[in-house]
Amino acid sequence: MKIKFLQGVSVELSAPTTVYDAAKNAGLISREVIAARVNGETVDLTHTLENDADIALLTFDGALTENGIDTNDDGGRRAFRHTASHILAQAVKRLYPETKLTIGPAIDDGFYYDFDSDTPFTTEMTEKIESEMKKIVKENLKIERFTLPRDEAVRFMEEKGEDYKVALIARVPEGEEISFYRQGEFVDLCAGPHLFSTGAVKALKLLQCTGAYWEGDSKNKMLQRVYGTAYPDKASLSAHLERIEEAKKRDHRKLGRDLGLFMLTDEGPGFPFFLPKGMVLRNTLIDYWREVHKRYGYVEISTPMMLNRSLWERSGHWAHYKENMYTTVIDGTDFAIKPMNCPGGMLVYKSEMRSYRDLPLRMGELGLVHRHELSGTLHGLFRVRCFTQDDAHIFMTWEQMKDEIKNVVKLFDEVYSTFGLTYQIEVSTMPEDHMGDEKDWDFAEATLKEAIGELGKSYTVNEGDGAFYGPKLDFHLSDSLGRTWQCGTIQLDMQLPERFELEYTGADNEKHRPVMIHRVVLGSIERFIGVITEHFAGAFPVWLSPVQAVVLPVSPLFEDYAKKVTKQLDEAGIRVSLDNRNEKLGYRVREAQLQKIPYMLTVGAREEEEGSVAVRERGGADGGAMSVEDFANKVLFETATRKL
């Protein structure tokens, strides 16, 4: 059989053999290799090969390729942390044998395991569990995979009293393998993959314990969910824990309150209130959005917040999304508050006859939408029940598709770089439950990939994760802490124009159906404010700062001059405040620093005499003395250029 490795090496071997032995034969095995992807499926290194195979060797940091490590591939990292979740479960069963096991997956930054225990886990208990986990790592237990026929698998778990595992076995499709993993005395039902042994998990930490309903259903029993993370070495773990602490300091909910940006109340859970400073930030962001979209050829529309049932039936939302919609009855007719802007945009397109000369038609909308989210999922500005979606709908011909995609990607590129955010692109392809002709899907997917490639961008493919009506591009942003946020989306739609019978008259004077792009760049105004608040740790660049400068008289003797400076800067277009409270100067300077105001302007006898201000920057640097006019020009330049 022929084995081809992603590193560009191929070997001919006799079947059967393991992935590990094949890699060793090819001279590619090393201590860093912890799992593999065989023909697209992530497996253990002990996985048996019986036929030709394409193999990617996986490390904690990514997949090994001819050009180095593909860090976008997290298969090795997930196998590593999935092993850590089994170490957690083994430790819990050793210490608290009556506890029942449920599931324990790897997640983006770590892992968790859900346990059914009548005793809530305390901090003291999790400390004991973590200590036991470290003992299991030191024992360096060999991890072995085995399978059982369905009946034997059920008996095996029943004998152990693992009711949840029995229920999970019942859901395994007929004919599919039922696999288990053993490490020492501990055995768990699991599809894998895992590492060779527990000893490879050199550094781990349990982070928190919360409640979680079995299968996420509030009708089911509340379980104990223990979160943790794991790394191959202590230095990496320490760096991660430092990032967590830094993230806590940057929590937008705390900063939003401390900086007077927004508030959340029990009277309106999931419905944020924006305060005066928050409105300055919000409106500045919206002004920038409008400026960019005008340059890129968009027109702006506004559609009603509430529309009748027949529209939502036509769009498909009434059948598939009604539980997440707020509804009411007006004059005997069902109405719904819009959960998205798309159907209203369809009506705007249909409001007049369209010609091929009108296309592409780019319509942007800052539409306030409402969605009923479960109370347990609400989280600051990241998950709310009403938000302003920065939507745009682009109507075009099939021939215009590639250029329009490129135009949108360029817009995204400009916007994200303005905030110092980098991104990765993911292409989501046709799902099994798709609608429409597969030839159209193939063309659309190929066009998406070609457009990105022609712009010199790289991408990963998320097979089968497109919407039922079309493939899409997702933009995963990376902030200053390296955390990722999914904000931008470019979604091709071949179905909604069909549902709403959208048409244009072509050059042949015949009626044709346009194709459409749904796209958001910020995702929602509210969520993006949360993202950039944490990205900048509340220290917004000058152009975004709600207050750009504060004037501080050194004593009441210079209040009149301070007021004059404040008025002069305000008239020049600077967002300026005056702090003339009866407090010591040092106290007022510290207050301004805590409010993360970019510039503090001290004025006293010398400044009054010279018509100047003494400039102190947010970071503590001394900007020296400047005339009021020069300082105003400096801030206006930084605002106009959106300097970071």
pLDDT tens per residue, range 54-96: 999 999 999 999 888 988 889 999 999 999 999 999 999 999 9
Is the residue at 246 inside a domain?
no
Sheet holding 576-578, edge to edge: 576-578, 549-553, 599-603, 612-617, 622-627
Residues 431 and 457 in one domain: yes
pLDDT of residue 342: 92
pLDDT of residue 420: 94
Residue (of 81, 56, 80, 110) closest to 460 by Cα position: 56
Query: Is residue 618 pLDDT above 80, yes or no?
Result: yes
Query: Is residue 119 pLDDT above 90, yes or no?
Result: no
Residues 610 and 485 in one domain: no
Is the residue at 459 inside a domain?
yes
Predicted confidence band at 486 (pLDDT cuts at 50, 70, 90)?
A: confident
Give the bridge partners for 577, in sequence order: 550
Mean pLDDT of 105-115: 94
Of 476, 504, 535, the residue that ends a domain is: 535
389 is a catalytic site residue: yes
CATH code, domain carrying 609: 3.40.50.800
Measured CA to CA, the distance from residue 158 to residue 145 in angstroms comes to: 19
Q: Indicate the number of domains in the chain.
A: 5
Is the residue at 593 inside a domain?
yes
pLDDT of residue 281: 98
| Marked catalytic residue, from 371, 434, 519, 596 | 371
Q: Judge if the upstream peptide bond of residue 360 is cis by omega within 30 degrees of 0.
A: yes
Both tokens of 469, joined, read: 């009506």
Mean pLDDT of 480-492: 88
Q: Where are the alpha helices (DSSP H) in 463-503?
A: 496-499
The residues near 562 (Cβ < 8 Å, ≥ 6 apart) are 551, 552, 553, 578, 580, 603
Mean pLDDT of 607-629: 94
Residue (of 94, 192, 103) closest to 134 by Cα position: 94
Predicted confidence band at 494 (pLDDT cuts at 50, 70, 90)?
A: confident
Measured CA to CA, the distance from residue 89 to residue 101 in angstroms comes to: 7
Of 36, 71, 106, the residue that ends a domain is: 71
Residues 508 and 497 in one domain: yes
- Specify the DSSP class assigned to residue 239: H
Mean pLDDT of 286-307: 97
Is the residue at 273 inside a domain?
yes
CATH code, domain carrying 108: 3.30.980.10
pLDDT of residue 185: 96
Query: Is residue 368 pLDDT above 80, yes or no?
Result: yes
| Marked catalytic residue, from 389, 495, 548, 595 | 389
| Marked catalytic residue, from 73, 74, 390, 391 | 391
Residues 527 and 553 in one domain: no
For residue range 172-209, list pLDDT tens digits in order.
Answer: 998 889 999 999 999 999 999 999 999 999 999 999 99
Angstrom CA distances, 209 to 120, 228, 548, stand at 9, 9, 41
317 is a catalytic site residue: no
Give percent of the chain with pLDDT exceeding 70: 100
Query: Is residue 431 pLDDT above 90, yes or no?
Result: no
Give the bridge partners for 472, in sequence order: 428, 491
Cβ count near 180 (within 10 Å): 19
Residues 327 and 367 in one domain: no
Measured CA to CA, the distance from residue 613 to residue 549 in angstroms comes to: 11
Q: What is the largest CA-CA distance in the chain?
A: 93
371 is a catalytic site residue: yes
Mean pLDDT of 327-350: 95
CB 484 within 8 A of CB 531: no
Q: Burial code of 220-231, b = ≥16 C-beta within 10 A, e = fewer?
A: eeebbbbbbbbb
For residue range 405-414, list pLDDT tens digits in order.
Answer: 999 999 999 9
Domain of 267 in residue numbering reads as 262-303+339-535
342 is a catalytic site residue: yes
CATH code, domain carrying 39: 3.10.20.30
Query: Is residue 468 pLDDT above 80, yes or no?
Result: no
For residue range 497-547, list pLDDT tens digits in order.
Answer: 999 999 999 999 999 999 999 999 999 999 999 999 999 999 999 999 999
Residue (of 527, 255, 284) closest to 390 by Cα position: 527
Mean pLDDT of 15-29: 91
Is the residue at 251 inside a domain?
no
CATH code, domain carrying 350: 3.30.930.10
pLDDT of residue 106: 95
Is the residue at 458 inside a domain?
yes
Residues 612 and 471 in one domain: no
Mean pLDDT of 364-379: 92
Residues 597 and 519 in one domain: no
What average pLDDT does the chain have? 94
CB 552 within 8 A of CB 604: no
pLDDT of residue 175: 85
pLDDT of residue 34: 95
Residues 382 and 420 in one domain: yes
Residue showing tokens 């230095």: 235
Both tokens of 599, joined, read: 């510039």
Angstrom CA distances, 540 to 163, 591, 641, stand at 52, 16, 14
Residues 126 and 195 in one domain: yes
| Marked catalytic residue, from 393, 434, 527, 588 | 393
Query: Is residue 466 pLDDT above 90, yes or no?
Result: no
Distance of CA 113 to the CA centre of its chain: 22
Is the residue at 543 inside a domain?
no
For residue range 600-615, list pLDDT tens digits in order.
Answer: 999 999 999 999 999 9
Q: Burial code of 284-314, b = ≥16 C-beta within 10 A, e = fewer?
A: bbeebbeebbeeeebeebebeeebebebbee
Q: Classify 362 as helix, strand or coil.
A: strand
Residue showing tokens 């599931």: 103
For residue range 131-172, list pLDDT tens digits in order.
Answer: 999 999 999 999 999 999 999 999 999 999 999 999 999 999
Residue showing tokens 């259903």: 217
| Marked catalytic residue, from 73, 78, 81, 342 | 342
Mean pLDDT of 238-260: 93
pLDDT of residue 435: 77
| Marked catalytic residue, from 250, 293, 518, 575 | 518
At residue 257's C-alpha, the angle toward residues 580 and 581, to 5°, is 10
CB 425 within 8 A of CB 459: yes
Give me the amino acid identity at 363: M
Residues 347 and 325 in one domain: no
Query: Is residue 226 pLDDT above 80, yes or no?
Result: yes
Give the bridge partners for 269, in sequence order: none
At residue 175's C-alpha, the angle toward residues 174 and 181, to 5°, is 100
Predicted confidence band at 598 (pLDDT cuts at 50, 70, 90)?
A: very high
Higher pLDDT, 133 or 482: 133
Is the residue at 255 inside a domain?
no
Residues 391 and 502 in one domain: yes
Of 22, 54, 71, the residue that ends a domain is: 71
> Pairing relation of β-strands 599-603 and 549-553?
parallel
Measured CA to CA, the distance from residue 383 to residue 387 in angstroms comes to: 9
Query: Is residue 463 pLDDT above 90, yes or no?
Result: no
pTM: 0.81
512 is a catalytic site residue: no
Residue showing tokens 């999931």: 270
Residues 596 and 522 in one domain: no
Query: Is residue 333 pLDDT above 80, yes or no?
Result: yes
Mean pLDDT of 331-351: 95
Query: Is residue 599 pLDDT above 80, yes or no?
Result: yes
393 is a catalytic site residue: yes
